[in-house]
Amino acid sequence: MRLNTIKTIGRSDFVNMGPIKLRQPLPTQELDMVDPFILLHHYGPYKISEQHNPFDLGPHPHRGFEPVTFLFQGEQLHRDSLGNESVVSAGDVQWTTAGRGIIHAEAPTKAFVKKGGMLEGIQLWLNLPAEKKMIPANYQHAKHEDFRTVQSKDKLVGVRIVAGSIADTYGRIQTQTEVNAFVIDVKKGGKHSINISKNHQSMLYLIRGNVMVNDSVFLELDENQLIQFNQDGEGFSIYGQEDSKLLFLSGEPFNEKVTSYGPYVMNTQKEIMEAMRDYQQGKMGFLPLS
């Protein structure tokens, strides 16, 4: 396999989002987006209890993109204006297509807050192309036990396919665009190579642990946590310096202008103003407080 060269190596520094402190490897001053991926927030691990629960996000709107949550620890309740209500457990993924508009809320379940525990996850914003920004909203919840996993020859690396495919093994999530999303678990000493489509922009994010990529670059916490690859090879290799977890994302870029404001991601400022107006007029639906 001819390895993709590395375009950028980035940190995942902490930012404040209201009462929540989280890592934001995308966007940064150095890396605006990896088309079609426009935002990645790594929240937690937080110690949740009845005395401390900052991650209670009340009803709020979205339009023009797909907010995706990968939950690694804890338990969250999702509610939305489509009438969906589901408990997302550790290892699950919720994939929301905001499209023309949706209102949702998410927070640790009351039972989880009462018993206490660690909460950790990633929220990813995946752009929609202009032609699909106003499609009907949709929600998918895939449970951890339903994902298909591909293992390395040494059985020390497992690649959980959330969306897209590896060879003839496909993810459970139905996507609006050509995209891959893999959660990779690496045991210490494990080595594996993963293919990347030449049509895709791609990135690899370290959630925990320490790995070597392409036999040359280290990813480790509080140092470099995100790699963006060039579109010049057939894939990349990873080697576990210790037990590690990573998220790999790739997608065909849209090469379209992106205009965003708060919870809306559109192509023009006029469309942003229309989204704000439609939300205020109730055209994105309603979601009562719990």
**pTM for this one?**
0.96
- Among residues 271, 266, 23, the alpha carbon closest in space to that of 128 is found at 266
Same domain? For 134 and 42 the reply is: yes
Same domain? For 129 and 180 the reply is: no
Same domain? For 44 and 111 the reply is: yes
Which of the listed residues 146, 165, 197 is the one where a domain comes to its end?
A: 146
| CATH classification at residue 57 | 2.60.120.10
Same domain? For 59 and 106 the reply is: yes
What pLDDT shows up at residue 55?
Answer: 86
Cα–Cα distance for residue pair 178/36, rounded to 1 Å: 10
Same domain? For 115 and 181 the reply is: no
Q: Provide the b/e sequence for 163-193 (b: ≥16 CB within 10 Å).
A: bbebeeeebbbebbbebbbbbbbbbeebbbe
Residue that has been written with the tokens 């297509």 in this structure: 97
What pLDDT shows up at residue 18?
Answer: 82
Asked if 279 contacts 290 with a C-beta cutoff of 8 angstroms, the reply is no
Same domain? For 72 and 140 the reply is: yes
Same domain? For 119 and 17 the reply is: yes
**Residue 223 neighbours by CB distance under 10 Å:** 12
- The domain in which residue 135 lies consists of 13-146
Average pLDDT over residues 202-223: 96
Number of domains forming the structure of the chain? 2
Same domain? For 29 and 124 the reply is: yes
3-state SS assignment for residue 80: strand
**Residue 92 belongs to some domain of the structure:** yes
2-16, 48-62, 88-102, 131-145, range with the lowest pLDDT: 48-62
Average pLDDT over residues 170-198: 97
Asked if 88 contacts 69 with a C-beta cutoff of 8 angstroms, the reply is yes
Same domain? For 90 and 151 the reply is: no
Q: What is the mean pLDDT of the chain?
A: 96
Average pLDDT over residues 130-151: 97
Q: How far is CA 23 from CA 13, 40, 53, 78, in A?
A: 5, 8, 18, 22
Cα–Cα distance for residue pair 49/115, rounded to 1 Å: 7
Same domain? For 87 and 160 the reply is: no
Cα–Cα distance for residue pair 204/182, rounded to 1 Å: 10
What pLDDT shows up at residue 175?
Answer: 97
What pLDDT shows up at residue 172?
Answer: 95
Asked if 36 contacts 252 with a C-beta cutoff of 8 angstroms, the reply is yes
What pLDDT shows up at residue 290?
Answer: 63
**Residue 131 belongs to some domain of the structure:** yes
Output DSSP code: residue 198: T
Asked if 181 contacts 172 with a C-beta cutoff of 8 angstroms, the reply is no
Query: Can you spell out the DSSP letters for 134-148?
Result: TSPPEEEEE-GGG-E
